[in-house]
Structure 1
Amino acid sequence: MEDDSLNRDEVEDLLRSMDSDEEAPASAGEMPDAAEAEARADAILSNRKPPGRQRVVSYDFKRPERVGKEQMRALQSLHEGFARNFGASISALLRTIVESKLISVDQLTYSEFVYSLEIPTCFNLLRPTPLDGNWILDLSPSILYPIIDRMLGGTASTDSTLKRPLSDIELRLTSRITNTFLRELARAWANTVALELELERVESNPQLVQIVPPNEVVVLVSFELTMGKSRGMVNLCIPFNTIERIGSKLSNNSWIGYTSSRSSKESQDRLKDLLGESKVELVVNLASSTIHAVDLMHLQVGDIVTTETDINTPLEILVEGVGKFEGKAGAFKGKKAVEVLQVVPRKQNPPAG
């Protein structure tokens, strides 16, 4: 096989021919000397970066950044609220304080996620209807076994050295934790998409479950559960291809539920209709007086209490304890009644300063 590489003399001849083609014939003093030609030849032969070129940055095609920054921020804010609600729900279930905290929201490949988990573990395969594909919920044994001990009436042990798959009874108890997680997760995603999360099966070896190709990008949402001195990780794996078609909903802040600062005419009318059916307490203050406690204790039916209020003074009509109207006592169809005379003007706040 012939050697296709150029020697030093051939490189010098090539450089001289390029200079002569690009520029007009130069004088003898302007021709590059042998030292300059040799330096340029060394630069080419040693693969050095020619002057004026931009720096080359390596790109890893195995880990493309497919999830946008805005979508990642939306997912983080969404699951921060979920973490608080899940912590409250599981605390009520176990009747002890359990802290739930969002640790991170990252994107990585599915193979990196699987090989980062310990074996055995509680690897739950979820179906997020109406989305396509599957999600993964991983419960770390370091927090799962103390939770099971608590559910069986024991104390939250810090011993998390058990290295065995869950038994049938433990799987039944774990399903209560999983169902609580899925219920709160569906509520957190309600403003984005109405999810119906179902548990398909539970595996102890995550490497036996292949829901997407190894190089497929997934979003990993990691939580930390703390119960007493025990703590462990709960990981939610969301393949990007399952949420790709709803990416716009994550980008337009629909998950936050922001509304316009100005209400529309329709919303105002709807609010009036709803408030119109509300029941409020209406109280008429006839008069007020001050008496001794001894006289109050000896009051009997038929006794008369005198007041300083004139009979012609308008009565104060209170709505939910707030004075709204002025009225006059009377009777209507044989029943005691009050006639509204005027609306009490709203009190203005005193000017500042």
Structure 2
Amino acid sequence: MPDVLDQLEVDALLASASASDAPAPRGSVKVFTRKATGTGLVPGAVTPEIRGYDFKRPERVSKDQMRALQTLHEAFARNFGASLSGFLRTIVEVKVATCEQMTYSEFISGLPNPTSFNLIKAEGLEGQICLEISPLIIYPIIDRLLGGTSQDLFIPQRPMTMIETRLIGNVTGRGLLALSEAWAGVRKLQFSVASTESNPQLVQIVPPNEVVIVIGFELKMSNRAGTMNLCIPYNVIEPMMESLSSQSWFSAAKNQRSGEIEREIGRSLTRAGLGVRVVLGETTITLKDLLEMKPGDVLTTETESAKPVSVWVEGERKFEGAIGQYKGQRAVRVTRVIPPGEEA
């Protein structure tokens, strides 16, 4: 017959078990630094800030560069939304939802299957980037292109057909054009679709632990909404990271775009129509003379016949000229340009 423990022995076993579970006291952590350290109680002493670092997820992109990337793709979202609105003849809102860095395996694991997964290439960049568009917004766009209203639209859980892929290719092409315009301030790139896949698990453009930058967008069209993700591996844009600092990017974009905008405004203004009228002379008559006026009456002005006439452009006196004839039509030859200050 086995031994039976009494209550005192049971209590002793429980006490020893609870004592073994208690955390062992740790010694004081030593921090080696060149700066003065302290507990904060001594004036002038600085307490070092200790932050955790995950070696499995290194942050290879600085915060300034992440802000520059977000600002750059906010401009892309505005241009892409305007382009889609004109193409679909309805209001489409595109805005940046997230901008973060993660591993490629984490990005792939968060995508639905099936989806529209596009591999994008650009001349001058080594490697490819990914553009994923959610089916929740793809099929409403296809329905809109085919004349539907997408009110009671069912979202099928299947890969897209060849016809649907061709239709979405028009949308993707406009997105890549807007993306090229957004990146023009950093480097002139021409993006194009290399291939399209419905299952993102079958595509591996970089190793699973490689750091990628993921910019998430939110698309809204009428009563439908969906997401779009742009995945940029770090090794693809690493040569351009120095140009992505906030100050250099903004200054480069400003200097490059200012000349183009000035030329575009100049071309638009040269095509604008202006009203031109020629004043032969001026005089003053009474209301009685105006009421009694009939065909054959002669109005005399206060302007001499040899004096040049005034040419007015949009209500402003700009030139002086002489009355004549050209190819059977009345004409005015400009004889003098009125300098500023003499327009009145």
Gap change, CA 1:284 and 1:224, over 3 Å in 2:
same
Counterpart of 2:118? 124
Q: Please give the TM-score of this superposition, normalised by the length of structure 2.
A: 0.70
SS in 2 for 1:104: strand
Q: 1:310 to 1:156 in 2, by over 3 A?
A: same
> Which sections of structure 2, spanning at least 5 residues, go unmatched?
1-23, 31-37, 40-47
Secondary structure at the residue paired with 1:287?
Answer: coil
Once the 2 structures are TM-superposed, how far is the Cα of residue 209 of structure 1 from its aligned partner? 0.9
**Aligned amino acid, residue 211 of structure 2:** V
Counterpart secondary structure, 2:149: coil
Which is further off, 154-163 or 184-193? 154-163
Aligned-partner Cα distance in 1 for 2:144–2:27:
65
For 2:43, the equivalent position in structure 1 comes to none
Tell me, in whole angstroms, the C-alpha distance in 2 between the residues paired with 1:146 and 1:315. Answer: 65
1:191 aligns with 2:211: no
Per-residue CA distance 1:142-174 (angstroms, 9 max, x = gap): 111111122222221465653211122221222
Which of 215, 222, 225 is residue 221 of structure 1 equivalent to?
A: 215
Alignment of 1:145 onto 2:124? no
1:253 positional shift = 1.7
What is aligned with 2:341? 345
2:195 alignment counterpart: 201
Residue 63 of structure 1 deviates from its aligned partner by 2.1
* Corresponding residue number in structure 2 for 1:49: 28
> What are the residue-to-residue correspondences of 1:80-99 with 2, within 5 Å?
80-99=74-93
Q: Deviations over 1:191-213 (max 9, x none)?
A: 32222212121112212111112
Q: Counterpart amino acid of 2:74?
A: E
Quote the Cα distance in structure 2 between the aligned partners of 1:134 and 1:303. 84
Letter of the 1:253 partner, please give it.
W
Q: Superposition RMSD on alpha carbons, in Å?
A: 4.0
With over 3 angstroms needed to count, the CA separation of the structure-2 counterparts of 1:227 and 1:316, relative to structure 1, is: same
Does residue 249 of structure 2 align to residue 253 of structure 1?
yes
Q: State how far apart, in whole Å, the 2-side matches of 1:48 and 1:312 are.
A: 109
Mapped partners of 1:158, 1:256: distance in 2: 47
Deviates more, 1:53-62 or 1:77-86: 53-62
Do the aligned partners of residues 255 and 221 (structure 1) sit closer, same or farther apart at CA in structure 2, a change above 3 Å counting?
A: farther
Query: Out of 312, 317, 322, which is 2:316 matched to?
Result: 322
Structure 1 unaligned segments of length 5 or more: list them.
1-44, 348-353
Contact persistence 1:74–1:250 (CA under 8 A)? yes
Bigger Rg, structure 1 or 2: 1
| Matched AA of 1:114 | I
Q: Percent identity?
A: 45
Partner of 2:176: 182
Kept in 1: contact 2:279–2:311 (CA 8 A):
yes
Q: Take 1:182 and 1:225, find their aligned partners in 2: how far apart are those partners?
A: 16
SS at match of 1:101: strand
3-state SS of paired residue (1:114): helix
Whole-angstrom distance in 1 between the partners of 2:99 and 2:75: 14
SS of the residue corresponding to residue 213 of structure 2 reads strand
Deviation at 1:336, TM superposition (A): 5.3
**Matched positions, count:** 291
Q: Which amino acid aligns with 2:253?
A: G
**Aligned residue among 239, 259, 263 for 2:233:** 239
